[in-house]
Structure 1
């Protein structure tokens, strides 16, 4: 574990993370945490929460929401509980140890009940086994890789946990957009896609997707977010998001 907590949201959130070399939250977590504007008194699930960066950021910025952090790895779930407590959020944040790809009966036994989330935020593993060279660090490999075809199962669990009309927010690699849309088809509609570029003259590296369970509304492609200027500094929009400010208007 890192000796000192990392600071998020301009210092408003202190996050203990595994030592460097393991999977650690960064810009992806910040973007996902700010992607869906919380509504009053919502219950928001952070699926694949690791140490809780996304869900805890939401809880810090929306003091009338309840947050459920779902993490499979016991050591990371323990860090998530510690982070919730250290930030004074443990009265509104619950940590559930569960495998999102387990059969429904096992998920329910772990405390994940259907139609209990108003919104779900998730950063699924970015790679399928055999499709890339995994990290030699077991914890990092586990966070980044899952079995072939598992993205569909992961998003099926998201749909199961959401109430009718509930909202999904996810972040993934830009080249995974077709697979994401295929897995969302028939379960979600009103998809809004925002490409994320490291710099304005480079291809997108991430996509942020918002969708509504059961909706039949058409897909929308939103303006891109550019993270850095020519000098490698955060753009004003990216800097504002890292400080915990709302998403810039489209």
Structure 2
């Protein structure tokens, strides 16, 4: 089947200011700004290849492909219904995306024989040994860690080509764990904290490493997402730079 949900159970949401219109389940895992920010920091160029591990409905991979014409994008997704949505989203937006169904812990042969210029992932944020599961299967798969974070990083590093990049977005409290695993398999590690507002602690971080990289570790100044010191009510108040990323498809480059 082209999709596993009736259209009445889906919403078609605007991403990048409407450059992409992507189907997502009304109930279940729904992508927010996190995969868009992840996509924006991928340093892809025309002709590069990329693999999105756990691509869901395809948001991150499609955002990169929309921003960088000529990139060869692929995604791996364990849930068939979300893989079907990713294929549908790619087709209806006229963006090329190869979607493979499978589990990264048992990498499908079609991907096992390949390496990519860039590998990206938005792994589940919550270790369920210290948090509570949610009832919806799709949302739980996107939010609750079933496959250990170490396995995500190991799979990403294996699929990354020499001198290529691996980039993940994750909760800030899990950064020590991520760095420990990444340092065994990648070099030139760098971290960009994502800070809700000036003076607040980072809630999310972007971690990038290079296959075979030799540069020293870098902890960058944080990227501030919102204007002001507090939320002004029931409306968005992203600052101008973040709005350009979320609405216009601008890149989010790591500092040089």
Fold shared per TM-score above 0.5: yes
Give the aligned partner of residue 23 of structure 2: 16
Offset, 1:248: 5.8
Give the aligned partner of residue 165 of structure 1: 163
Q: Does 1:39 align with 2:38?
A: no
Give the aligned partner of residue 146 of structure 1: 145
Offset, 1:241: 0.8
SS of residue paired to 1:168: strand
Distance in 2 of aligned mates of 1:180 and 1:198: 21
Root-mean-square deviation (Å): 1.6
Residue by residue over 1:162-193, the C-alpha shift from the partner in whole angstroms, topping out at 9 and shown as x without a partner, is 11111011100000000100110121111111
Give the aligned partner of residue 116 of structure 1: 115
Give the aligned partner of residue 240 of structure 1: 244
Distance in 1 of aligned mates of 2:188 and 2:71: 23
SS of residue paired to 1:196: strand
Distance in 1 of aligned mates of 2:190 and 2:227: 25
Q: Does 1:227 align with 2:225?
A: yes
Q: Which runs of 4+ in 1 moved over 3 A?
A: 1-4
Distance in 1 of aligned mates of 2:29 and 2:22: 13
Q: For the Cα contact (< 8 Å) 1:115–1:160, is it kept in 2?
A: no
Q: For the Cα contact (< 8 Å) 1:116–1:162, is it kept in 2?
A: yes
> More deviation in 221-230 or 177-186?
221-230
Give the aligned partner of residue 95 of structure 1: 99
Tell me the TM-score normalised to structure 1 length. 0.91
Unaligned runs of 5+ in 2: 232-236
Give the aligned partner of residue 77 of structure 1: 83
